[in-house]
Amino acid sequence: MAAHSGRRHSDHAHDRRRFSSRALFLAILVAAWTSFYLSYFDTSQFANYQEQVHEDNLRHSNGAPPSLWLPSEQSRLKTSGIENASAGAVPDMKQEAVNAPLLASTSAKQQEAPPQHGERPLAVTTAAPPPSPQPAVNQEPDQLPTLPTAVPLLTNEEAQPRLPGQQDLPQAVERPAAATSEPKVQLPSALVIPADDGVLTCSGSPPCKRGEDGSIVYWRKWTDETPVWPSPYKGKEGEEIKYVTFEPDVGGFNNMRMAFDNFVLFALATGRTLVLPDKYPMRLSKKERALDGLSDFYDVSAWKAYVNVIPMQEFLEKQNMTGFFTDEERRACNASTFQERAPFWEVIRRATDVFPVGPDDRVIAFGLPENVTTREELLEYRPAFDPFSHGRQLLLYGPELHAKKTLHFESVARGKLRYLAHFYGFLYFADSRVDRFMKRFVRGYIHYKDEIFCRAAKVVDLLHADGGGGGQGAGAYDAIHSRRNDFQEQYSQTNFTAEEIFRQVEDVIVPGSLVYVVTDESNMKYFDTVRDRYRLRFLHDFYEAAGLKDMDPNFTGMLEQLIASGARLYVGTYFSTFTSYITRLRGYLGKDPGYYFPERYKNVLQSPEENFYASGPNFYHEWPVAYVGIDEE
């Protein structure tokens, strides 16, 4: 018995020693993390701004609106960034970005992604910020609180002292004394509604203007006299330039286009210079081994007043990075496949700060009050954020991120990030006026080149001449997009015969109608079963009459999107990003955005009260929030 008691006493002592060892280990671990945090993240820089944060909160509680961008963010703005890379070993900036406290914990979920329209891998996740005080007001996104007399809409030097390194703020706008005869509050001139309706001038044809019958011109631009809206993050002339680099999406063109919208607006919002990748043979290209770049399809020179754009080679020369590459690595940027281009992009990733989150689980937020840092706080502040967030947390763009000289957006099909999300479902602007400005910028400037529009307009004119009858009205034609081939492997629920497709939508496109068919189906016999019920037209029917034989074949898909956008009614393939862009173009034109097949999705866009906001990062169709109400003041 005594022996047994001794063993038990010995066991208890052993347990106490084991507990003490664990406690000591945990204490050392906590101390080490605390030391790392304090050494890496200099929290003292925020001490001087607590009074300003308090003033911001008082302004909100007293009914003054938040500024176009967070005033305290402007005050704290630091223009110092990463020093220029010098020739020699490539600095590994990627690990620094991953380890930053703002973007602390990372995880990558491996997910198989079809190359064209498949599901995307989940993005890297980050730790949620510590709880903050609840915001003082509950404000809807399109409602601005009443402005007291003479309170500046944008904080000026009298309302907020200048701090070292602070940039000039946009000109303050004041509200006149309340009276029915007084003019309304004027927006900063760069945020006004564009004055010029788009005009398309094509050789041999009269100018085609936005709003005219049969026109496919939808853009509106600002005049040359309109002051350019200034990003509050953009440094003064002579200060260090900051950059955005990105890898084109590994999928087809419409996936690239969707990601490209995000990169352009991110550069515009942050005042960074956008670096265009080198040309390469794009996937699904109609030209064998031809090198194409995004500048071949968009007139990027039209953006120069708003976004500075430079080619990759110029960026490498400015950053003294040309010596970082072997000849083989530099040539890799022009390779056909993502795997072959990987050596080039791996060097870029090591020399820049890789953006460590994506649209699957994060929203990049601009201009929030200081005391709104989490999704939960933003839902309290703006309840309408709920459908936008779709459960995602926030990543606040502020001084820590802005200090990075070059932010790089990668695109990896499996296991890492892809930016397959509509810009209005990934970039969140707290000020509804800035939000509408960004959407107007996309409509007005990120559109296909005039050459593509001119060629499409010729086909549209020919269809109008051929149209009418079948209950459509004189000069009318309808359009349908039937996505085929590899798409059925990804989305088997879209695999129908032509007769089954038309049966599902015959209450929309009635028998006897003239129907322009957009399709990647190479066997035209596929449509024989419906030719006796519909007057079908395809692009090849217009090659001679529209003079398309000399057209760059890589314009084909874009051309057909524009033709379909001009139709009276439109039916598209659900899940297809090619289809979804057509519905947005139709929204810009003020037309019915369209219908879908399979039949269960047919009326998704016909119920805007249920499907107005982008549902999180979902990319397979567009939402009316992209084009409805964006010209409201």
Residues 568-615 have pLDDT tens digits of: 999 999 999 999 999 999 999 999 999 999 999 999 999 877 788 877
What CATH number is given to the structural domain containing 479? Answer: 3.40.50
Does residue 6 form part of some domain? no
- Among the candidates 445, 465, 485, a domain finishes at 445
- Same domain membership, residue 420 and residue 281: yes
pLDDT score at 21: 56
Does residue 113 form part of some domain? yes
Containing structural domain, residue 405: 71-145+229-445
With a cut of 60, say whether residue 271 has pLDDT above it.
Answer: yes
Task: Evaluate whether 402 touches 269 at the Cβ level (below 8 Å).
Answer: no
Could you give the number of structural domains in the chain? 2
* Cα distance between residue 576 and residue 254, in whole Å: 9
Does residue 166 form part of some domain? no
- Same domain membership, residue 432 and residue 490: no
- Same domain membership, residue 388 and residue 251: yes
Does residue 488 form part of some domain? yes
pLDDT score at 575: 94
Task: Give the pLDDT mean for 53-70.
Answer: 32
pLDDT score at 588: 96
3-class SS of residue 192:
coil
Q: Which residues face 353 on adjacent strands?
A: 407
- Same domain membership, residue 461 and residue 392: no
pLDDT score at 349: 92
With a cut of 50, say whether residue 67 has pLDDT above it.
Answer: no
- Same domain membership, residue 383 and residue 262: yes
Does residue 19 form part of some domain? no
DSSP secondary structure of 440-471? HHHHHHSSB-HHHHHHHHHHHHHHHHH---TT
With a cut of 70, say whether residue 22 has pLDDT above it.
Answer: no
pLDDT score at 438: 95
Question: How far from chain centre, in Å, is Cα 92?
Answer: 27
DSSP state of 282: -
> Strand ranges (DSSP E) for 247-377?
273-276, 309-311, 353-354, 362-366
Hey, what are 222's tokens?
Answer: 């600002």
3-class SS of residue 603:
coil
Closest C-alpha among 113, 110, 107, 137 to residue 125: 107
pLDDT score at 537: 98
How many residues in total does the chain contain? 633
CA distances (Å), 87 to each of 83, 321, 417, in order?
12, 6, 29
- Same domain membership, residue 460 and residue 440: no
The larger pLDDT score, comparing residue 236 to residue 9, is at: 236
pLDDT tens for 536-555 read 999 999 999 999 999 988 89
With a cut of 70, say whether residue 8 has pLDDT above it.
Answer: no
DSSP secondary structure of 511-560? TT-EEEEEE----GGGGGGGTTTSEEE-GGGGTTTTT-TTS-GGGHHHHH
Terminal alpha carbon distance of the chain: 89
Neighbours of 606 (CB within 10 A): 14
CA angle 245, 95, 322 (to 5 degrees): 45
- Same domain membership, residue 414 and residue 482: no
Average pLDDT, the chain: 74
* Interacting residues of 237 by C-beta distance below 8 A, sequence separation 6+: none
Q: Which amino acid is at 237?
A: E
CA distances (Å), 46 to each of 55, 102, 292, 402, in order?
15, 14, 46, 16
- Same domain membership, residue 526 and residue 397: no
Question: How far from chain centre, in Å, is Cα 396?
Answer: 16
3-state DSSP of 463-522: HHHHCCCCCCCCCCCEEEEECCCHHHHHCHHHCCCHHHHHHHCCCCCCCCCEEEEEECCC
- Same domain membership, residue 477 and residue 598: yes
Largest Cα–Cα distance in the chain?
Answer: 111
Q: Place 223 in a pLDDT band, splitting at 50, 70 and 90.
A: confident
- Among the candidates 420, 445, 470, a domain finishes at 445
Task: Give the pLDDT mean for 95-109.
Answer: 36
- Among the candidates 410, 445, 480, a domain finishes at 445
Does residue 274 form part of some domain? yes
Task: Give the pLDDT mean for 556-572.
Answer: 97
With a cut of 70, say whether residue 115 has pLDDT above it.
Answer: no
- Same domain membership, residue 581 and residue 558: yes
Does residue 26 form part of some domain? no
With a cut of 70, say whether residue 378 has pLDDT above it.
Answer: yes
Spatial strand order of the sheet with 514-519 comes to 535-537, 514-519, 478-482, 570-573, 595-597
With a cut of 80, say whether residue 17 has pLDDT above it.
Answer: no
pLDDT tens for 421-468 read 999 999 999 999 999 999 999 999 999 999 999 999 999 999 999 986
3-state DSSP of 110-159: CCCCCCCCCCCCCCCCCCCCCCCCCCCCCCCCCCCCCCCCCCCCCCCCCC
pLDDT score at 470: 59
Q: Place 364 in a pLDDT band, splitting at 50, 70 and 90.
A: very high
* Cα distance between residue 406 and residue 140, in whole Å: 34
pLDDT score at 416: 66
* Interacting residues of 190 by C-beta distance below 8 A, sequence separation 6+: 170, 222, 226, 227, 228, 229, 230, 437
pLDDT tens for 172-216 read 223 233 333 333 334 455 677 777 778 898 887 778 888 787 889
Element (H, E) at 396: strand 393-396
- Same domain membership, residue 460 and residue 437: no
- Same domain membership, residue 395 and residue 270: yes
Side-chain half-sphere exposure of 51, counting CA atoms within 13 A: 5
pTM of this structure: 0.71
Most confident range, picked from 107-116, 360-369, 386-395: 360-369
* Cα distance between residue 541 and residue 531, in whole Å: 15
pLDDT score at 576: 95
Cis preceding linkage at 359, omega within 30: no
Does residue 594 form part of some domain? yes
